[in-house]
Amino acid sequence: MRATVHPIEVQSYAILRSRLDVSDLPPLTRAVVERVVHTSADPSWAGDLVCAEDALRAGRTALLAGAPLVTDVRMVAVGITARPATVAIDLPGVRELAAAEGLTRSAAGIRVAVGEHPAGAVWAIGNAPTALAELVRCAAAGLVTMPLVVGLPVGFVGAVAAKAALRSALLPAVSNRSERGGAAAAADAVNALLYSEETP
């Protein structure tokens, strides 16, 4: 947890709230929406994000209790400074599994990470749609359970479908409807949960 909030961030949130009123949202949903909007300086995220307050609460509780955090790529992990993370794509054997099974490295990383964290981890996917699709497949096969999936991959190919599949699977999740996403947005969602009591 951060000890202090920088004055620039306080001012930035004040400007954000003068332009976007999300006071009607539940507290953790509001924290996620505001942090993504704050970091991107793009208020249109407010209408794109799909949050489940119960899932956000479960994810926050798990993180604060020390549950593992698994990210698809390093870019997501480095954006979450309050908690160490397992980076799926960097796990041993990922490159070999991708070659043997004809998977993307991102999907192979998730498959390996599921083997290491079959229950209880919080997952944050912010890069490849194939990573999220693989996580949804593993969950459907009963290979993994989790309190929360942050499913915000980006791309013109597969991102919308992977996020729709996540929602259709009724997994506890935060996602968005459009092609946009990315490491910063995924890290923002996790940070919002970790820092929610500190939001300026």
Catalytic site positions: 38
Of 122, 145, 6, 135, residue with least CA distance to 64: 122
Sheet containing 148-151: order of strands: 49-51, 173-176, 148-151, 122-125, 69-71, 86-87
Element (H, E) at 173: strand 173-176
CA dihedral 108, 135, 88, 54 (to 10 degrees): 180
**CB atoms closer than 10 angstroms to residue 141:** 9
Helix locations, the chain, DSSP H: 7-19, 27-40, 53-64, 74-78, 94-101, 105-116, 129-140, 159-168, 183-195
Backbone angles phi, psi at 94, to 5 degrees: -65, -45
- Asked if residue 72 lies in contact with residue 131, where contact means CB atoms within 8 angstroms, the answer is yes
Residue whose structure tokens are 């397992």? 86
Q: Integer distance in angstroms from the first to the last C-alpha of the chain?
A: 14
